[in-house]
Amino acid sequence: MSSALIVWIYGLSGVGKSTIGRELANFLRGNQLGVVEIDGDVVRDIFGNDLGFDLQSRQEQIRRIQILVKALESQQSVILVTALYSNEALMKRNRELYTNYFEVYLSAPYEILCARDTKGLYSAVMNGETKNVVGADLEWNPPNTYDLNIDTSTTSANDAIAKILSNIKFMFLDKHHWKGL
């Protein structure tokens, strides 16, 4: 049996990770593919929200996601991970850990993210109500390496999904004889 296809979608808060991941999962399921969704916020909930949002906690969060994905990798499915954190060493580890891995970096200008601010994180930092928000008061280090970069300020969710599908179809899905895309 082949390994799962891991599609790791990441970027700052408000860039569209959850929306694109959820819609991509729905499309794949509609085409008879098994899909497991792993959202960073949900993983936090599963572990009882025992981590903060400081740098060390964020690294531990990604480590937990990596362990979960590794446990699921033997399944004949697509594992969609949506998580904020971008750390070169952790992302490099993903490439070492997983057989069929595709990394999608979603980006948008900071002004657009602040305007979207669906969780109110950026405004909370600006108002002094919270801290440890990556891209606001915690430094964001854009990745140097990824398989696909999509600027969500100029690309719709549907177009982003089409770009992802185009890449994973030729890179992985055909190898696994998954049809319908």
Cα Rg of the chain (Å, integer) = 16
Determine the Cα–Cα distance for residues 57 and 25; give it in Å rounded to an integer: 27
Q: 78 has which bridge partners? A: 5, 35
The one-character DSSP state at 129 is S
Give the number of residues written for the chain.
Answer: 181
Q: Which residues are catalytic?
A: 86
- Residues in contact with 165: Cβ distance below 8 Å, sequence separation at least 6, in sequence order: 24, 27, 181
